[in-house]
């Protein structure tokens, strides 16, 4: 049996404070280099996780009840955000994007990079801030 790969829609939790919008999404099995976050000029947040660890025809799949990506989710943002001022962290399989609230949305694409452990953190201490697109 060949492994069928479908894009999985990621479930999210969205929180809002007076100054920030925070989105959390589970993306188990990925590394930071597999994840991209985009804030569009039209006011959407796009979470994208690339397929990782495919069998590449090397093994016969006998049962396949879950897969490691690909993941994708597009959310209409409830308020304008500052994409270049956003931060994205990834640890324990959960992506957290923190977006400052502003008057007009500023688009950006964020990528994550492996940064290593910091002060007792697990080796999944990943962080990358936004760059204006």
How far, in Å, CA of 9 to CA of 11, rounded? Answer: 7
The reply to whether 15 falls in a domain is: yes
Q: 115-129 pLDDT, tens per residue? A: 666 554 444 444 444
Q: 8-27 pLDDT, tens per residue? A: 899 999 999 999 999 999 99
Residue in the block written with tokens 């495919």? 54
Q: 66-92 pLDDT, tens per residue? A: 777 789 999 999 999 999 999 999 988
The reply to whether 104 falls in a domain is: yes
The reply to whether 107 falls in a domain is: yes
Range of the domain at 92: 8-132
The reply to whether 1 falls in a domain is: no
The reply to whether 3 falls in a domain is: no
pLDDT tier, 2 (very low <50, low <70, confident <90, very high otherwise): very low
The reply to whether 18 falls in a domain is: yes
**Whether this model's pTM surpasses 0.85:** no
Q: What is the average pLDDT score of the chain?
A: 83
Q: Residue 52, Cβ neighbours under 10 Å: how many? A: 15
Q: Could you tell me the CATH number of the domain that includes residue 102?
A: 2.60.40.790
């Amino acid at each position: 049996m060949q492994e069928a790969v479908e894009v999985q829609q990621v479930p999210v939790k969205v929180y809002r404070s007076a100054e920030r919008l925070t989105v959390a999404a589970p993306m188990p099995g990925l590394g930071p280099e597999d994840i991209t976050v985009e804030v569009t000029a039209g006011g959407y947040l796009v979470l994208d996780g690339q397929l990782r660890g495919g069998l590449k025809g090397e093994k016969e799949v006998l049962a396949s009840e879950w897969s490691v990506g690909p993941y994708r989710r597009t959310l209409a943002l409830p308020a304008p955000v500052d994409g270049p001022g956003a931060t994205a962290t990834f640890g324990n399989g959960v992506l957290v994007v923190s977006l400052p609230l502003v008057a007009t949305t500023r688009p950006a694409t964020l990528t994550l990079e492996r940064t290593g452990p910091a002060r007792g953190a697990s080796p999944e201490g990943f962080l990358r801030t936004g760059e204006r697109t």
